[in-house]
Amino acid sequence: MYVSAITGDHADVAELVAWCDTNPGRMGVYDAEAGDALGLGGPAGLPQYGPDDLERMIAEQRVDAVVITTPDYTHAGFVTRAQAAGVDVVVEKPLATTAGQCRDIIDSVAATGRDLTMTFNYRYAPRNSTLREVIASGAIGTPTSVHFEWVLDTVHGADYFRRWHRQRENSGSLLIHKAAHHFDLVNWWLDDVPARVFASAGLQFYGAANAAARGLGERPERGTGAGRDPWALDLTRDPRLKALYLDAEHHDGYLRDRDVFGPGIDIYDNMSLVVDYRSGARMSYSLNAHSPWEGYTVAVNGTEGRAELTVVERGAVLIGEDGEVVLDASANPDGPGVTTSRPEGERLVVQRHWGAAEGIPVPAGIGGHGGGDAILLMDVFRRDLRLSDDPLGRAAGYLDGVRAVAVGIAANESLASGRAVTMEELGLAPAV
C-alpha cells in the first residue's frame, strides 16, 4: 500500500530512498515494483539494509521518516530506534503488543519530540465516519453501551493461522493484532478511553487438537502442493505470493502457507470481552475467526436512542468445481443465493426514543478497508496541506495507538488471571 502510494498518487510529495528488511528476496520484489511504477525500465536500485543497520540507513540516506510494517512484536523497538535517530515514524497497527512496549514508545515520544502516525485506516471508511458523525451530533444522546460483533470468514480469518500471527509471542493474539482496529473504532466513536477489561477466549476451531477432535485425519504441513483442500494456500497459484514468499523463503525459512490445523498455534479463534469506559459506558465485544461470511455489526445505545451499523464485507466463501475457494459469488451463478440472502454492503439505522427507525445514507467507499485506505494515505502524506482541521479527528497518534492495544493487552492479562484488569494495573492509566 505504501510503496504504491509513494510511487503513484503521492510521488509529488514523497520519495522512496531505501529498504530495511530481514529478507533480500522480498526487498528485491518491491524494488522491482517501485522501478516499474516509476517508469525506470527495471528495478529502482534502492539501497538495502538489514534491521541492525536502521540508524546507518537513516543517516546515509538522509531519511525524513520511516514506515514500519514489520511483525507486531518488533514495532516498539523500531519506533524508539528511529525516533532516537531523529526521524518521524508511520507505523501499522497494532502499535505494540505489551504494556512495557507501550511505555517505551510513550517515553520515546516525550524524549525525542518526534512525530508518530498510527495508520488506523478503518476510521476513514465512510460507513464508520458516518457513525461517528451520528454519535457526535447528539442524535442518540449520551452513549451508554455498545455491542460490537466482528466475524472473520474462512479465507481472511483462516489466514492468520497460517502466518507468523499464529504465535501469541509474535502478534499478541488477534485481541491485539486484529482487534486493535475495532477497539480504536469504539474509542473514537465514543470519544472515550477504556478503563477496565474482562475477557473470555479460546482456540476452538483451528489447531491440531481441534482437527483431531473432529476427525480431520492427517494434514499436510503446508498448503503449497497440498491439492484440492479449501483450507490450503498454494503459493504457486498466485505469482505475487510466489515471488514474495515461496521464492524468498530460502533466505530466512519463513513459511507463509502453514496448515491452519497444524501444531504450535496458541492464539484464540473465539474471543469475548466486556470493556468499561471512563465515562461509565460499557461494551460487549466478540470476535470469531471461522465464520462462513465476513463483516460486523455494532449497536450504540444512548440516552435518547440507538444507532445500528451492519456491514457485510463478503457474503460467502464458496468452493468451485476445481476444489478451490471462489471469492466472487457471481462466478458461481448456480450456487446458493448469496447475493440475495446476504448481500454485500452496509446499513446504518438510527432510532430515537418515541420515533421510527431512520436509514442514514452512507457515502460510497472506493478501495481497500471500506474505502478508508485512500483517504488515510492523504493524511499520511499530505496532512500539512490541510486547509482546516478534520472535524472527525480521523488522524491517529501514538496515544490512540496505546488506547487501542491497551484493551487487548488487558484482555490477555484477564485471560491469564481470570479477573477483570484495569489500565492502572498495566501502568497505562496516565496515557489513556
Note the pLDDT tens digit of each residue in 88-146: 999 999 999 999 999 999 999 999 999 999 999 899 999 999 999 999 999 999 999 99
B/e letters for 8-29, b = 16+ CB within 10 Å, e = fewer, are: eebeeebebbbbbbebebbbbb
- Is residue 373, in this structure, part of any structural domain at all? no
Give me the DSSP letters along 124-148.
GSHHHHHHHHHHHTTTT-SEEEEEE
Confidence of residue 337 (pLDDT cuts 50, 70, 90): very low
Q: Is the pLDDT confidence value at 154 over 90?
A: yes
Q: In whole angstroms, what is the distance from residue 412 CA to residue 99 CA?
A: 11
How many other C-beta atoms can be found within 10 angstroms of the C-beta atom of residue 250? Answer: 9
- Domain end among 120, 153, 181: 120
157 and 63 co-located in one domain: no
Residue 335 has pLDDT above 60, yes or no: no
In a domain, 79, yes or no: yes
Tell me the mean pLDDT in the region 39-62: 97
Q: What's the confidence (pLDDT) of residue 328? A: 53
What is the mean pLDDT of the segment spanning 311-321?
Answer: 90
Percentage of the chain surpassing pLDDT 90? 84
**307 and 407 both lie in a single domain:** yes
Chain centroid, CA 215 distance in Å = 33
The residue segments making up the domain with residue 170 are 122-205+265-368+394-426
CA 221, 222, 228, 229 torsion-angle sign:
positive
Res 228: pLDDT = 84
* pLDDT at 370 (0 to 100): 55
Same domain, 200 and 312: yes
- The residues pairing with 36 across neighbouring beta strands, listed in sequence order, are none
Q: Is residue 131 part of a domain?
A: yes
Query: Which residues does 81 contact at the CB level (< 8 Å), separation at least 6?
Result: 54, 55
Q: What residue has cell string 496458541?
A: 266
Distance from C-alpha of 89 to C-alpha of 74, rounded to nearest angstrom: 14
Does residue 422 sit within a domain? yes
What is the DSSP secondary structure assignment for residue 94, as one 8-state letter?
P
Mean residue pLDDT across the chain? 93
What's the burial of 334, exposed, middle or buried (CB within 10 Å: 0-12/13-18/19+)? exposed
Instruction: Report pLDDT for 323.
Output: 74
Residues 38 and 116 in one domain: yes
CATH number assigned to the domain comprising residue 320: 3.30.360.10
**Cα–Cα distance measured from residue 195 to residue 216, given in angstroms and rounded to the nearest whole number:** 42
Pair (183, 302) in one structural domain: yes
Q: What percent of the chain has pLDDT over 70?
A: 95
Please tell me the predicted confidence (pLDDT) of residue 371: 60
| 199 occurs within a structural domain | yes
State residue 264's pLDDT score.
96
Please give the Cα distance from 35 to 44 (Å, whole number).
4
Question: Does one domain contain both 27 and 176?
Answer: no
End position of a domain, from candidates 93, 120, 147: 120
Whether residue 305 is predicted with pLDDT greater than 70 in this model: the reply is: yes
CA–CA separation, 397 vs 89, rounded Å? 10
pLDDT number for residue 333: 42
Is pLDDT above 60 for 412? yes
Separation CA 183–CA 235 (nearest Å): 32
Answer yes or no: do 190 and 328 share one domain. Answer: yes
Helix then strand count (H, E) for the chain reads 17, 16
CATH number at residue 21: 3.40.50.720
The answer on 97 and 149 residing in a single domain is no
Residues 26 and 50 in one domain: yes
Residues 168, 280 share a domain: yes
pLDDT tier at 336, thresholds 50, 70, 90:
very low
In a domain, 258, yes or no: no
179 burial via Cβ count (<10 Å: 0-12, 13-18, 19+): buried
| 193 and 279 inside one domain | yes
pLDDT per residue over 72-89, tens digit each?
Answer: 999 999 999 999 999 999
CA–CA separation, 287 and 173 (whole Å): 12
CA 365, CA 371: separation in Å to the nearest integer? 4
Let me know if residue 388 belongs to a domain. Answer: no
- The three cell numbers of residue 205 are 476451531
Question: CA distances (Å), 24 to each of 79, 104, 250, 283, in order?
Answer: 22, 29, 10, 44
Strand extents, DSSP E, 203-332: 270-277, 282-291, 294-302, 305-314, 318-319, 325-326
| Average pLDDT for 261-276 | 98
Q: What are phi and psi of 5, to 5 degrees?
A: -65, -45
Contact between residue 134 and residue 305 where contact means Cβ atoms under 8 Å apart: no
The domain total for the chain is: 2
Give the pTM: 0.93
The reply to whether 109 and 163 lie within a common domain is no
Q: Which of 85, 120, 155 is the last residue of a domain?
A: 120
Residue 209 has pLDDT above 70, yes or no: yes
Across-strand partners of 319? 325
In a domain, 23, yes or no: yes
